[in-house]
Structure 1
Amino acid sequence: MDNSYIYLSTPNIKGNEIQYVTDALEKEWVSTGGAYIDRFEKEIADYLNVDTAVACQSGTAGLHLALLLSGVTPDDLVIVPTLTFIAAVNPVKYLGAAPVFMDCDDSLCMDMDKLQCFCETECELRDEKLIHIKTQKHVKAAIVVHVFGNMADMEKAVMIADKYHLVLIEDATEALGSHYNEGPFARKYAGTIGDIGVYSFNGNKIITTGGGGMMVTKDPVLSQRARYLSTQAKDDAINFIHGDVGYNYRMTNLQAAVGVAQLEKIDDFIAVKKANHQHYQEGIRTLDGLQLLPFNKAIEPNYWFYSLYIEDLEKYSKEAIIETLFENNIQTRPIWGLIHEQKPYQKDIAFDIEKAKDYHRRIVNLPCSSNLTVGDVDRILEVLNKSIW
């Protein structure tokens, strides 16, 4: 058996990346200006069927900008999931606001029924503002994360946001390319349904620029404001006149050059990841006590991450699975530690967290790179099948 190391999620650099980066270098446009930034923004907007997109330094920077554009202040609350990467929540603290943690449903995304229950039972509407009764703080916004390329129940999320006057921010950092294929949002991509959407191009994402992110919104005024704030709020670039506190959040031209090449291949990447997901499913179906979590039936996902779910905790443990695969040169990882249990967030509000705790005990992420071969998947399945637990 081939014993080369299989990583969890690696970039796939097999297109025009070197050509475009070399072009940017030869033209000496390497920093936060250049034709590839404009091109990447336009091509992402075209891909998502939106009017404009704003390239930024990272998905985290995009979420920070989204909260700034939403008018979040230190006196506000922002609803967030507990089952997500911590970068989805930290920007709330950047602004001095406080998070309210929500449970997940079986998609691993935010439980909209519990969100509705929180709004109905823990809050009240006053002058078109949702006020948390216990703290008397304004619940200003909700960040809904599309976990592992799955999509949250956006029909219900939009209904709740409209009813309770919440700014709806979609963290689509893991879900570029995922879209609904039925219902009222058919053919709508993750990140384009709420008020503001944010994407990430970190090295492990479906497409990468090494770092970098993108923000989209339906409101052209907000897009213009985001671009202004992300470039140090320059009113007069020649005389260094600044009208607000700005940020160094602009993507570089070199990153954008990589992004343009990556976007050209996104359909190929998704096709490979879909085929590998199906191959995993067929193999894991024969293993008693384990299953591969499915994606929502109403969507066409990007198949970003694959979640091995442990049904039988007496037979398997996530620690044993991770250790066994590691001993066979296969990288895996558990799902994130729940954020409401992390040291910086233990004093914040957590509303009826149940299902997220169970999934935290039972999920292991399997290798899912877009350059993963059928032979790699077979090797991983063989280790899972032959190991004595």
Structure 2
Amino acid sequence: MPQSSRRTLPAALCTVTLVLSACGAPGAIPEEQGEDGPIKVGVVYSASGPLATYGKLYYEGFQAGLDYATDGTMELDGRPIEVTEMDDAGDPAKAVSAARELIGSGHTILAGSTSSGVAVQVAPVAAENEVLFVSGPAATDAITGVNDYTFRSGRQTYQDIRTAATFMADPDGADVTVFAQQSAFGQDNVDAVTAVLEEQGATVDSILAPPDSTDLIPFAEQAREADPDLLFVAWAGETASAMWQALGQRGVLESTKVVTGLDISASYPVFGEHKGDIEFLAHYFDGAADTEVAAAMRERVEQDGGTVDLFTPDGFTAAQMVVRAASAGDDTQERISALEGWTFDGVKGELTVRAEDHALLQPMYQARLTGSGEDAHPELVESVPADRIAPPVGE
């Protein structure tokens, strides 16, 4: 899906400004920090709200990543890394308010954004105030290339769709339906599926349900009546269980080729007897990558009582990027330069921050679920190389 490497957000998103005298000039490092003061990092994520489970995984990964990247010191060149976390509850307005407060109190690096709707609001705040922003699990393609100050530590929707396309022998002439929610995440998936598969000759339609809808039977019935060659399911949040039950009850999973992203481990039992009827693309699951970094992440997360899951690597990678940026000094432009084009060993293997638009190039996975009930677990089918699913660089 072509996009410029430095897109301009709609005016409604660009009106978010910071007017706090405590900040001084944009990009300026507060005097109290100085060259020997703490490196102040603000993490704004969903500690509560509908994406709280994802947010918890992200933050556990972030803490483990800081420990790993600093060799357990939580310092960089003798300077402590001071982390302040704030809960946005998945609300863009709360996220913007938190970002303002953090910048106003001298935080020159921001991380977080579990929600795509949050990420697209925080990104312009970072740019206007010339601070670094490393977005997290938010998958919207709109974050890649949005401005010079914004990076991402997770995958993006385009990479999901390119991975989904690897399940099709030939999309030419196929009818594809996207089953998703009416949200930034859902619409982004519709746009990405359309861009990727229509270019290959498929016809793409969509069925979108309100995010707060609890009765999903009518939408499952629409999917059954559409009878596509491929149903791509893009769903996030607490209603996933009800959604899969609805598709199963209406016979969609048995009659249609269904591809979806593998969600968190708590969702595995939901698929039940239908798991063999579903193809899974995976951003990550514990055991997907057999790397030293993945082992180090697991060890640290489990020592603190956590469990590695879908978005744990996003937090871990964010911490690696924060430490890399901060190692360049206090100048934001120098921090940006340190990240652009950086190739490093991450949880999933070799990762690259593409200099042109800050896309994070990374492998993805095909997976299957085995076992039943509480014993259901994913197994790796194939690792999809980063270059095979890389989003196009904007012209």
- Shared topology, TM-score over 0.5? no
TM-score (norm 1): 0.30
Identify which of structures 1 and 2 has the higher relative contact order when contacts are C-alpha pairs closer than 8 Å and 6+ apart: 1
TM-score (norm 2): 0.29
